[in-house]
A = this chain, B = another copy of it.
Amino acid sequence: MDSEERPLRADAERNRKRLLDAATQLFRERGLEVGVGEIAERAHVGRGTLFRNFPTKEDLIAAVVVERMSELVARGRELIAAPDAGEAVFEYLGEVVGRQQLDRSLAEAVADELLANPGIRSAHAELVGVLDTLLKRAQAEHKIRPDVGALDVLMLTKGVCQAVSAFAHIDPEIGNRQLDLVRSALTAPADAPLRGRAATLEDLDRAIAPGATRPERAAAQG
């Protein structure tokens, strides 16, 4: 562990930032499958430079995605102080959906097994934590049904994000429309109990772990 790293040379620092910017742009526009070559090209550096700063493509992705998620977490923390706890939740969901709409990388990162990446995973956990806080506050004020958890809400919202990415350029209201439906679900009286139980972050870890944490051989499975 060389936690002690001497400062980068000026040009190195500059190139690193350029790469991060280029990747952010391209991921936003076209998703995570853009090639490293194109990223390096837009950053006006060679591929070698890219791989020196980010040993693998996944490292680069993680750096970018974590940045975006952290912004979202920050926005969530702001909303914790909002006067209306119920509206804060829905405002936050709108934010979550909106950002996934203009940042394909975000949406893809949460969909894929990329959640197995330590950095992304912890950023995601923070996000869930913030939403959980918002949610509990709203539930304490009886603005949202008491029997749903943060992951329940996030899952329900995931579909909205997908719908929005496909349709936003046809009907920009589609996201709001879907969110209105989500609101209906969350504010409905809980007369019939939901089946099952709310998932936890540990559940998520367990769900992600099997296939992804060990990228190497899973040969035993005949």
- Asked if A192 lies at the interface with its beta carbon under 8 angstroms from chain B, I say yes
Find chain B residues with CB under 8 A from A163 CB. 155-156, 158
List the number of copies, as a whole number.
Answer: 2
Interface residues of A in 162-190 (CB under 8 A from B): 162-163, 166-167, 169-171, 173-174, 176-178, 180-182, 184-188
Interface residues on A, range: 35 or more
Report the minimum CB–CB distance from A98 to chain B (whole Å): 14
A162 to B110 Cα, complex, angstroms: 11
Find chain B residues with CB under 8 A from A157 CB. 159
Instruction: Using A169-B207, A170-B203, A171-B196 as known contacts, list a sample of 9 further A-B pairs with CB atoms less than 8 Å apart, ordered by residue number in A.
Output: A152-B177, A159-B162, A166-B208, A173-B195, A173-B197, A177-B194, A181-B185, A185-B185, A188-B188
A-B contact pairs, 25 of them (CB 8 A): A152-B178, A152-B181, A155-B162, A155-B178, A156-B156, A156-B159, A156-B181, A158-B159, A159-B159, A159-B160, A159-B162, A166-B207, A167-B204, A170-B206, A173-B197, A176-B195, A177-B194, A177-B195, A177-B196, A180-B194, A180-B195, A184-B186, A185-B185, A187-B188, A188-B188
